[in-house]
């Protein structure tokens, strides 16, 4: 049986073009085309598709929010975002929302088909630029802030939720020393509370 595909895209000619390409394959068939998320969500169960081509920039509920809602009903749905935007925030929002893939609209027929095939076989089709962005997001740039080893020890303990007393016990030094280090840490990190220090340490990859 063919894999059912639903297209959600407000550019009608584009969605019809996609549908034509998809319907020419032996593995996939388009069961519905919507120009908005609301309708797609309304007919989720009726359509019974597991694979979605979803535009990001839609009137009303946008693609990211729509992805979340579809995933809530069908956690196993494969949702490929198709968009002109390669804005990083939107990309990561979409991935966090549960999108399986991320393609740009200027894609060729074969790319679309390949993406669908990859998707249903458990993959994550991405355009080259998106893949680079995603991989790049793991590469933490080293921070310019320099903490001494001991300061890192203290901050690490703090980030694990230890009180000053516990930290003192764990590092075999007095609580006063902990406070001393923390004071210096706060100055270096330009913060003035333990939470801010921990948050900043996480953000800047100091530990």
Partner DNA sequence: AAAAAACCTACCCTTTTGGGTAGGTTTTTT
Partner DNA sequence: AAAAAACCTACCCAAAAGGGTAGGTTTTTT
- Is residue 202 part of the contact set for DNA (CB under 7 A)? no
Q: What is the smallest separation between the CB atom of 145 and DNA, expressed in angstroms?
A: 11
Specify the residue, 34 or 164, whose C-beta has the smaller distance to DNA: 164
What is the SS3 assignment for 148-187? CHHHHHHHHHHHCCCCHHHHHHHHCCCHHHHHHHHHHHHH
Encoded one letter per residue, x for contact with its own copies by CB under 8 A and - for no contact, window 173-192 reads: ------------------x-
- Is residue 194 part of the contact set for DNA (CB under 7 A)? yes
Q: Rounded to 10 degrees, what is the CA torsion of 74, 75, 80, 85?
A: 110
70: number of Cβ within 10 Å: 23
Q: What is the smallest separation between the CB atom of 168 and DNA, expressed in angstroms?
A: 7
Positions 123 through 182 that interact with DNA (CB under 7 A): 146, 148-151, 163-165, 171, 173-174, 176-177, 179-182
CB 82 within 8 A of CB 19: no
Among 100, 95, 99, CA closest to 124 = 100
- Is residue 23 part of the contact set for its own copies (CB under 8 A)? no
- Is residue 146 part of the contact set for its own copies (CB under 8 A)? no
CB 66 within 8 A of CB 41: yes
Binding region for its own copies (CB under 8 A) out of 104-112, 133-141, 146-154, 173-181: 133-141
């Amino acid at each position: 049986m063919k894999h059912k595909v639903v297209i959600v895209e407000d550019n009608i000619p584009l969605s019809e073009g996609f549908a034509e390409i998809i319907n020419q394959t032996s593995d996939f068939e388009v069961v519905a085309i919507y120009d908005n998320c609301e309708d797609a969500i309304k007919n989720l169960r009726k359509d019974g598709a597991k694979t979605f081509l979803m535009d990001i920039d839609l009137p009303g509920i946008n693609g990211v929010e729509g992805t979340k809602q579809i995933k809530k009903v069908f956690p196993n749905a494969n949702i490929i975002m198709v968009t002109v935007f390669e804005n990083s925030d939107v990309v990561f929002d979409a991935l966090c929302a549960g999108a399986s893939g991320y393609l740009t609209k200027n894609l060729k027929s074969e790319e679309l088909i390949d993406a669908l095939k990859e998707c249903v076989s458990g993959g994550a089709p991405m355009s080259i630029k998106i893949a680079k962005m995603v991989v790049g997001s793991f590469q933490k740039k080293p921070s310019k802030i320099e903490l001494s080893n001991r300061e890192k020890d203290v901050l690490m303990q703090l980030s694990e939720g230890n009180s000053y007393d516990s930290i003192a016990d764990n590092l075999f030094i007095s609580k006063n020393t902990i406070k001393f280090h923390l004071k210096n840490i706060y100055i270096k990190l330009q913060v003035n509370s333990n939470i801010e220090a921990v948050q900043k340490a996480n953000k800047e990859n100091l530990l």
